[in-house]
Amino acid sequence: MEKRVLLAVFLSFLVLFVYQSLIGPPPSESPAEAGAVAEAPAAEPATPPPSAAVAASPEAAPPPPSSSTTPTDAAPAELTTATPISPIVADPTEREIVVETDQVIATFSTRGGVLTSWRLKGYAETSGEFKELVPSGAEMQTPPPFTLEADEAPLTAQLANALFRPSASSLDVRAEPRSLVFEYEDTSGLSTRKEYHFDPENQPFVVRFSASVETAAGPANPAVRWGPGLGGSAAPSSGFAYRQGPQAIFFMDGDVSRLDAADLEETPGYDGTFEFVGIDDHYFLSAALPDLSPVGVTYQPVVIGTGDTQITLVDYVLRFPTPSGETRFYMGPKDFDILGAIDDELVRAVHFGFFSWLVVPLHRSLTWVHSYVGNWGWSIIILTIMINAAMFPLRHKSVVSMRKMQELQPEIKSIQERYKGLKVTDPDKQKMNQELMGLYRDRGVNPASGCLPMLLTMPVLFAFYSLLSVAIEIRDAPFILWIQDLSQHDPMYVTPLLMGVTMVAQQRMTPSTADPTQQKVMMMMPIVFTFMFLWAPSGLVLYWFCSNLWGVGQQVMTNRIIGPPKVHSVRPPAERQVKKQKKKKKGGDR
């Protein structure tokens, strides 16, 4: 039985390894597919690059066409279009406005009143700089976040190139909630206002955004465009250390949908009442929280780079059927506690998988331990000790049962030997099973009791795998010496090798009912596991190593408690039959 359990564990991890290596990472697109994605937006009215949309100044932008224009007044309309547009409320030059909170350094541009940078203070890029969630660079051909996109292309271009007047040249929001307002008005009748409200103490990584647009023809209700994101690229996947790239995510009707580039090409648009809607990657999330307002969202894959450097980002546009007022946008880490403090449903953005029912309490426990220890590596070790201590009785019972089964092996083999020539369909095979069950009953042995405790530990193992693979808390979290990131593999491969050694020691010490050939085959498993865990997150390897070390110590203690194995001599069949008859006779005399 224990052989089957170990084989099941091995096959489970083999499936995980194959899935993460071959299926998990999204397939890279060919250059032809990339070209198809790049050409797709040309078929619909999208916001063109500012440099190609209009001239450098707002004066060159034509006014929006009036809905009341008729063929009889075409000439006056052309005369109006040629009339230069002069700003009434505007900023004289394009400049940057920096907003700083305890968690974020945000940069806005007066051209369009858009967001150009959103850097997270507590999270670092591989270069050591603050994590940037807004992509930038010459290859970015889509508008930046919070661009307003109208139904008319000239109005969209006019909004994108207008020089908005800011309410402050910079904003420090570390003491109290504050707002940054951008305003623009010109002689064409266009009047626009954008407001960004920050309350980092109560809503960290959240900005409340509202916008109003008035034209000569009346109020407009433009869409809000995020632009390509998220910034940066996920670390490369290898073995267990799979890193999810940018994808679309939204929560509607009680279900979370996660869509990659292929899904978005097939169905780019979605409408409904969303709890949240946006994009995410392995550790970070950018999402709007419409507060149950009806919203339409259109996604668009954006391919940048070529060859090995090619990555696919995701752009999304939010369209409100009616003026929406203020909408919350979250741009930050997929931290379970932070997400829960902002919105109860936002925690669903963290994908813990099938064992989420167990991962969540494990996450709470790990966070609680860390609040006292202050080091995530030591927190994993302490929580591992606590879990193994709680499972001590189960493991002890398993070892005792396996020892009894080991002691019975000579008698079991003797019974099996007498019936080995029979076919499975032979009725005499039932006699063998009856004899085996009688032997177990006489000796007080339950064959399943050696396997069940081991099976109960498997959900904890898989839950820990899910937790340590997804939890952003261990991203860039150092442990000791050479281990400076528990979410990445051990750079010196010390802990995987130690884990393999403890697996061998534990397997040699554990009682086994397998024959010598099977035992030799089973001894290959530590080698296979060691190879697989060379690229696993070092936090996961640390958990497994500590569990094995605890198991070795518990095995030594259990062996001392139960003593050496007892040797049972195999009685001949006639002797066993006589003993059974004596027992029946004594029972009849009573």
Strand order in the sheet with 130-132: 130-132, 114-124, 104-109, 96-100, 170-172
408: preceding bond cis by omega (within 30 degrees) = no
pLDDT of residue 6: 53
If we measure between CA atoms, which residue out of 300, 248, 296 comes closest to residue 271? Answer: 296
Question: Is the per-residue pLDDT at 221 higher than 60?
Answer: yes
Question: Is the per-residue pLDDT at 360 higher than 70?
Answer: yes
- The pTM assigned to this predicted structure is 0.72
Bridge partners for 87 per DSSP: 186
Bridge partners for 250 per DSSP: 257, 277
For residue 372, what are the contacts with CB-CB under 8 A and spacing of at least 6? none
Q: Up-side HSE of residue 90: CA atoms within 13 Å toward CB? A: 22
Please give the Cα distance from 458 to 449 (Å, whole number). Answer: 15
Q: Answer whether 507's CB lies under 8 Å from 516's CB.
A: no
Query: What is the SS3 assignment for 588?
Result: helix
pLDDT of residue 119: 92
Residue 452 — pLDDT band, cuts 50, 70, 90? low
If we measure between CA atoms, which residue out of 326, 315, 153 comes closest to residue 231? Answer: 315
Q: How far is CA 178 from CA 171, 175, 198, 338, in A?
A: 8, 9, 6, 21
* Residue 577: CB atoms within 10 Å: 11
pLDDT of residue 9: 55
90-104 pLDDT, tens digit per residue, is 999 999 999 999 999
Specify the residue for token string 């916001």: 47
- Considering the chain, what percentage of its residues have pLDDT values greater than 70? 72
pLDDT of residue 65: 38
Q: Work out the average pLDDT over 302-317.
A: 76
Q: Which two tokens stand for residue 516?
A: 């010598």
Bridge partners for 273 per DSSP: 294
Query: What is the SS3 assignment for 486?
Result: coil
pLDDT of residue 23: 46
Domains in the chain with CATH codes: 2-20+360-562 (no CATH), 44-51+83-233+243-342 (2.70.98.90)
Question: Is the per-residue pLDDT at 129 higher than 80?
Answer: yes
Question: Is the per-residue pLDDT at 26 higher than 70?
Answer: no
Q: Comparing 159-163, 207-211, 231-235, which segment has the lowest mean pLDDT?
A: 231-235
Q: Which two tokens stand for residue 413?
A: 């083999």
* Helix (H), strand (E), coil (C) string for 15-50: HHHHHHHHHCCCCCCCHHHHHHHHHHHHHCCCCCCH
Maximum mean pLDDT: which of 265-279, 320-334, 409-423, 435-449: 265-279
Query: What is the SS3 assignment for 100?
Result: strand
Q: Which two tokens stand for residue 67?
A: 């809905």
For the chain, the average pLDDT equals 76
Please give the Cα distance from 195 to 199 (Å, whole number). Answer: 13
DSSP 156-188: HHHHHH-BPEES-SEEE-SSS-EEEEEEEEETT
Question: Is the per-residue pLDDT at 55 higher than 70?
Answer: no
Q: Answer whether 249's CB lies under 8 Å from 285's CB.
A: yes
Residue of higher predicted confidence among 432 and 12: 432
Q: Comparing 101-110, 258-267, 578-587, which segment has the lowest mean pLDDT?
A: 578-587
Please give the Cα distance from 220 to 542 (Å, whole number). Answer: 57
Please give the Cα distance from 158 to 151 (Å, whole number). Answer: 12
What are phi and psi for residue 54, nearest 5 degrees?
Answer: -140, 180
pLDDT of residue 42: 35
Instruction: Quickly list H helices, 391-427.
Output: 392-418
Residue 265 — pLDDT band, cuts 50, 70, 90? confident
Please give the Cα distance from 400 to 394 (Å, whole number). Answer: 10
Residue 438 — pLDDT band, cuts 50, 70, 90? confident
Q: Up-side HSE of residue 292: CA atoms within 13 Å toward CB? A: 4
Q: Answer whether 131's CB lies under 8 Å from 124's CB.
A: yes
Q: Answer whether 230's CB lies under 8 Å from 282's CB.
A: no
pLDDT of residue 297: 92
Q: Comparing 111-125, 213-227, 453-467, 477-491, which segment has the lowest mean pLDDT?
A: 453-467
Q: What share of the chain is helix, strand, coil (3-state, %, to 5)?
A: 45, 20, 35
Residue of higher predicted confidence among 1 and 253: 253
Residue of higher predicted confidence among 411 and 195: 195
Please give the Cα distance from 44 to 34 (Å, whole number). Answer: 18
Question: Is the per-residue pLDDT at 34 higher than 50?
Answer: no
pLDDT of residue 93: 92
Is the CA virtual torsion 580, 586, 587, 588 positive or negative? positive
Please give the Cα distance from 561 to 392 (Å, whole number). Answer: 14
pLDDT of residue 4: 54
Question: Chain centroid to CA 490: how far?
Answer: 21
Question: Is the per-residue pLDDT at 10 higher than 70?
Answer: no
pLDDT of residue 147: 92
Question: Is the per-residue pLDDT at 512 higher than 90?
Answer: no
Q: Work out the average pLDDT over 438-446.
A: 75
Q: Work out the average pLDDT over 355-380.
A: 89
Query: What is the SS3 assignment for 468?
Result: helix
Q: Answer whether 284's CB lies under 8 Å from 333's CB.
A: yes
Residue 8 — pLDDT band, cuts 50, 70, 90? low
516-533 pLDDT, tens digit per residue, is 666 666 677 788 878 878
pLDDT of residue 82: 54
